[in-house]
Structure 1
């Protein structure tokens, strides 16, 4: 670990949550006396209110539509356990290790704001999970995104209390076993703490942080692939001229064009003598990738505001001694961010799919062999190059495009019409993660095709080693670490999977953004 991420109620960034999720950052609670006292004011106020026969939603009442049901005083202490118990009905795949860490970190960030009435001991238990890398097994499905991520977060609440299952050191085991092994005492939740843990947006927000970070790298990678394909297809680098983009000044679009100019500056690619203007998938690449780049700038504010908020209900104002009932569990901003982001990402898949179509087709690839086959002589007749890979790319692209339907518009009235307008933010986040996976698969395949085309140009004598820009030569060598030139047909699934893994680990240095970053916690809804 090379970064300490301090949770003390001050704004955290997407990158800090991702660092914790990827084990590059260590999550630690601030141990200052002032901060601990601020946290403990919340539960102390609630205890006084209860002693004075105060009525508190979810503490002395039932939940949701059952808020009119009064809880007998002798049963108040049992209510949080019932809350996480009856919500233990999740389904689908389990969140992976990075996703689980991101969820725990996102919930800790919200509760660390000090507006949820939880004890210091609860915050420490969350910190302990991250410290020992004890990963709650959280089913991905079952949340409508308001009242928060109730069902998936019930698995986190139960784990804090020593129940259900966790992944520890690569093995799924009962939580109680792992806690006993590490001498960790299970929590007994205080009256408001079950609600505080579950009635928030930590699952969708944790996933959103991971999705944003992957999309940021994908925008850079798609730009590098476009530069390679511009060279391989003998495209016109002047389509990315600085003067041209000065008259349509979307910052992200300008950034992409700048990166393309940087990649291609060592050479002027030979222009296709038959076309003054390249086809759109090359010529308009800054306009397509630029939408994603601009979306990243603006959507950061949505995600980080949610991350650094008390997304709970009711909010506990310990200083003013108020219990404020509202709907901060509603994940609408994350839903919008994820619905928007998955749309921009799927368009990257579509762009790269169209670039690959040009590479493969002898009518459009300016003299490259059909399907980029490296075979020659009589053996060329039985070799098919990347023909099947292109079909797979089309399948992955189609699936990504199919998932761009906004999840947020499918709000369902539920829970006796108490939750009658819900965000669907968690479904949108899961869709976005899936679209990312598909688009990364497309990027890996088109990157393989671009490097194949690059070597074919070299063999044809169209491109000398000296004329190859340094950045593109480096990318070619990066790919060659995982996949060799294709002379004869061979299965490619293992090589493609290895390339996808390299992309998801962000192994390759690409570009440094010169665009202004949005500060963590800044309210930027541009």
Structure 2
């Protein structure tokens, strides 16, 4: 399959399908025409020796330094080499791949002044899955993701590291093997590649895809817990949730009713007790609020995915050409959204840990063995799995502190406010990973708990989930290395995010 890019209509679902199906990309004729027109403007600027930031001048504090016209191309190469200061572990391959797709898409808007050759190089790298090795740390999230995107650019010109067919190699060696020339940067192209928010946005898109899927996964896992504790279904009554107006809450309640339909383990109001604890009773309110966050984040990410966010920008309108230095590279809108995502995902894990505590605590689990141990005292059962979940939840609370409230001036105070959006994106994905493991732990414990209550009494939909998961994680008949079970279930949950196009 092919993902068609035009700079205007790229969605998160497009990216999800692109990754799930290992798609290639192509560009529209209209987008290519815009690229050619904006490049013609850059060539005119060079010919007329105009003073335009980043084309005929230096960068940042050096914006007032005029560059000799014979050194315009070298200026761009120097920019990439000097700005490739990323440190730490590299972004995951899928993040780096999406980074290239997003950078290509923004260049297609026709405001960046790049050559068709650069567009072709990006398409080649994407379609042949030549994935730049891009260190995660080192971006301030304003003036663009300068350090990460410089590592992306290095790969295109044959000077960086890439992952190709599962191996980390020098870009120049891979290109030579494939008979492909490194791209030679022309005036404006280095700046056009690195002035932008594609690192934070790409990681944000991956985090969003997996976070949203976790939201859906949390519902059937919660439904297993609900049945294990003979939860009351009245709290999910449609009238209750319509009375509060939030559509996401209404939707979660409806899905919970569907998951629980036909169960012989659920109860009605006052049948065993009048009402459940909040972690069961308020699942639609709590999970629904996270879906409200996800919807906000999706909107902001998709705006940014189709935005022109480098500098300067070229506009050709009404027979007038404008080249304007602005600040669309500033990551503040994305930083806020990704900090918000951290909170939404953290709470999914927070409430899941409190639910699983009710399953293992003999004071709360309605007569099941303490820690669901097969031999209480001799065997610990799920005791330390709850510890692990509590640790992850606590770590999330630290990571959820907003990165966007911080700013450190750079470039001798020329760039005196920055977004730290890339830190928000990185911490956000750590929270997603932690939350996934908390939900995996709740799942393992809930699977065990329903065996005490009667698997045959489960609702048909959750029984199907029980049977699927039992092929991954067996019943707890004796103590074992539960970290293997946690990772196996977490991988099952992770894979689901890319196994289908829609929920």
| Range into which the TM-score falls when normalised by the shorter chain | over 0.9
1:357 maps to what in 2? 357
Query: Are 1:330 and 2:330 matched, yes or no?
Result: yes
Task: Establish whether residue 241 from structure 1 lines up as the match of residue 231 from structure 2.
Answer: no
Residues 43-71 of structure 1 deviation map (CA, whole Å, 9 limit, x = unaligned)? 11111122112111011111011101111
Deviation, structure 1 residue 79? 0.4
Unaligned runs of 5+ in 1: 514-526
Any idea what SS the aligned residue of 2:26 has? strand
Candidates 294, 298, 301, aligned match of 1:300: 298
3-state SS, counterpart of residue 402 of structure 2: coil
Aligned-residue offset at 1:22: 4.5
1:505 aligns with 2:495: yes
Residues 189, 171 of structure 1: CA spacing in aligned structure 2 closer, same or farther, 3 A cutoff? same
Separation of aligned partners in 2, 1:474 and 1:511: 21
RMSD of Structure 2 on Structure 1 (CA): 1.7
CA contact (8 A) 1:254 1:286 kept: yes
Q: How many residues end up aligned between the 2 structures?
A: 499
| Cα distance in 1 between the residues matched to 2:340 and 2:25 | 30
- Name the stretch that deviates more: 414-423 or 13-22: 13-22
CA distance in 1, matches of 2:191, 2:215: 38
SS of 2:367's equivalent? coil
Residue 7 of structure 1 contacts residue 29 of structure 1 at CA under 8 Å; is this kept in 2? yes
- In structure 2, do the counterparts of structure 1 residues 15 and 47 end up closer, same or farther at CA, with 3 Å as the change threshold? same
Q: 1:227 deviation in Å?
A: 1.1
CA contact (8 A) 1:478 1:508 kept: no
Which of residues 135, 138, 145 in structure 1 aligns to 2:134?
Answer: 138
C-alpha distance 511-178 of structure 1, shift in aligned 2 (>3 A): closer
**Residue 444 of structure 2 is aligned with which of 433, 444, 448?**
448
* Contact persistence 1:331–1:424 (CA under 8 A): yes
Contact 1:265 1:469 in 2 (8 A): yes
CA distance in 2: counterparts of 1:208 and 1:44, whole angstroms: 34
Q: 380-389 vs 239-248, which deviates more?
A: 380-389
Residue 23 of structure 1 and its aligned partner are, at CA, apart by 4.8
Superposed displacement of residue 106, structure 1 = 1.0
Could you tell me which of 150, 165, 173 is aligned with 1:154?
A: 150
- Counterpart CA distance in 1 for 2:22 and 2:56 is 42
Which of 455, 461, 476 is residue 466 of structure 2 equivalent to?
476
Contact 1:347 1:401 in 2 (8 A): no
1:284 maps to: 282
Which deviates the most, 318-327 or 92-101?
318-327
- 2:312 is the alignment partner of 1:314: yes
Deviation at 1:380, TM superposition (A): 3.9
Q: Is the 8 A contact 1:94 1:139 kept in 2?
A: yes
CA distance in 2, matches of 1:18, 1:57: 36
Q: How does 1:194-273 map to 2 (within 5 A)?
A: 194-267=190-263, 269-270=266-267
Q: CA deviation at 1:114?
A: 1.2
Task: Report the TM-score, using the length of structure 2 for normalisation.
Answer: 0.96
Note the alpha carbon deviations across 1:245-303, whole angstroms, 9 max, x for none: 11001111111111111111213613686631111111111111111111222221100
Describe the shift of the 1:18–1:65 C-alpha distance in structure 2 as closer, same or farther (beyond 3 A). farther
Asked if the contact 1:61–1:70 (Cα under 8 Å) also holds between the matched residues in 2, the reply is yes
CA distance in 1, matches of 2:221, 2:35: 49
The Cα of 1:8 is off from its aligned counterpart by 1.9
- Indicate the residue corresponding to 1:4 in structure 2: 2
4+ long deviations beyond 6 Å:
507-513
1:420 aligns with 2:416: yes
SS at 1:316's partner residue? strand
Residue number in structure 2 paired with 1:368 = 368
TM-score, normalised by the number of residues in structure 1: 0.92
Task: Please state how far the C-alpha of 1:19 moved relative to its aligned partner.
Answer: 3.0
Cα deviations by residue, 1:337-362 (Å, 9 ceiling, x for unpaired): 11001101001110000001100011
Q: CA deviation at 1:111?
A: 0.8
Partners of 1:164 and 1:175 within 8 A in 2:
yes
Aligned residue for 1:140, secondary structure, equals: strand
Tell me how far apart the structure 2 counterparts of residues 23 and 146 of structure 1 sit (CA, whole Å).
33
CA distance in 2, matches of 1:455, 1:184: 59
